[in-house]
Amino acid sequence: MRQILKISIAAAAVLLAASCQKENSPVDEPEVAVLAFEGEYWDALIDSPQYGGPLLYGEYDEANYTYLGTDYSWFDDGNTFLASELCENYGAKVYWNGGHAVSGYVGQEPTGDYMLQLAIPLESGHDGSKNFCVHNGYKSGSSIATGYFYFKDGVGRIIESMYVTNTSYYLGSFDVLGTETDWTKITATGYDAEGTVTGTSEFYLSKDGESINEWTMWDLTGLGTPVKVEFDITSSVVNEWGMAIPGYFAYDDVTVRL
């Protein structure tokens, strides 16, 4: 009887040790990649000047007082596999139609000057980096296109987060036109390969008259596993033509689960 009891106690000890080892073993973390917009490839995508530059607008047609458009695009090949290109409207791809432009313009005080559309008031990208990206575009009034990015290999993935802040152009305009009750928000909508919505997520650039003024993390896991993500901007600051302030925001360090 004592022998059986000793064996039972020993077996229980082994099971308890195994259970504790299992509970204390490290959990496998998902493999992730971060789109940080850093390096020579990304540096070459920063236009100059910020408005009307050759990369984002193409040649200027003096006869018709317009820009002819460009094939500006970017692709984070071999890393997150995210890509983006300018939206097309009236037969031309021009940044004013909507898109995502790489930028390194920092330290610009808030201004309502559209010529400084790629600048932020902060002194760097997220976490002290050099570059970031600037979204332009919203669907309001006569506007029909907005900026987006997508996985160029066609594989849907979880986008964990990205860091967002306001641009100098937006802040300068909101400071003049906004009131203590006004707001502006981004709505991200994910789509699968067939164009079906996979999820949405919202982020406020301004709320109750206060605007964010630092790099702030936006959780995007609610989008599911999209192939494409479109960003729309809406605001309480409107006029008879629709939203009355610039549809811009800056973002950096997009984290993707592979």
Under 8 Å between Cβ of 113 and 213: no
Query: Which stretches of the chain are assigned E, i.e. beta strand?
Result: 32-35, 60-61, 66-67, 73-75, 82-85, 88-89, 92-93, 99-103, 132-136, 148-151, 159-165, 184-191, 197-207, 210-211, 216-219, 228-235, 238-239, 242-243, 248-257
Dihedrals phi, psi of 10, to nearest 5 degrees:
-65, -40
Average pLDDT per block of 10 residues along the chain, 258 residues long: 41 46 62 98 98 96 93 98 93 93 98 96 98 93 79 98 98 95 97 98 96 98 98 94 92 98
State residue 143's pLDDT score.
58
Signed CA dihedral, 12, 13, 17, 18: sign only: negative
Topology, domain 30-257 = Jelly Rolls (2.60.120)
State residue 235's pLDDT score.
96
State residue 5's pLDDT score.
39
Q: Which residue has the tokens 């993707």?
A: 256
- The burial of 28, by beta-carbon neighbours within 10 Å (0-12 exposed, 13-18 middle, 19 or more buried), is given as exposed
Query: Residue 57 has which token pair?
Result: 């607008």
3-state secondary structure of 21: helix
Q: Which residue has the tokens 């940044």?
A: 95
Query: Residue 145 has which token pair?
Result: 């296109």
Under 8 Å between Cβ of 85 and 69: no
3-state secondary structure of 250: strand
What length is written for the chain? 258
Q: What is the pTM of this model?
A: 0.88
Q: Where are the domains of the chain?
A: 30-257
State residue 198's pLDDT score.
98
Q: Where on the phi/psi map is residue 88: left (φ > 0), alpha (ψ -120 to 50), or beta?
A: beta
Cα of 196 vs its chain's centroid, Å = 20
d(CA 70, CA 61): 13
Pick from 118, 62, 60, 120: nearest CA to 94 = 60
State residue 206's pLDDT score.
98
State residue 202's pLDDT score.
98
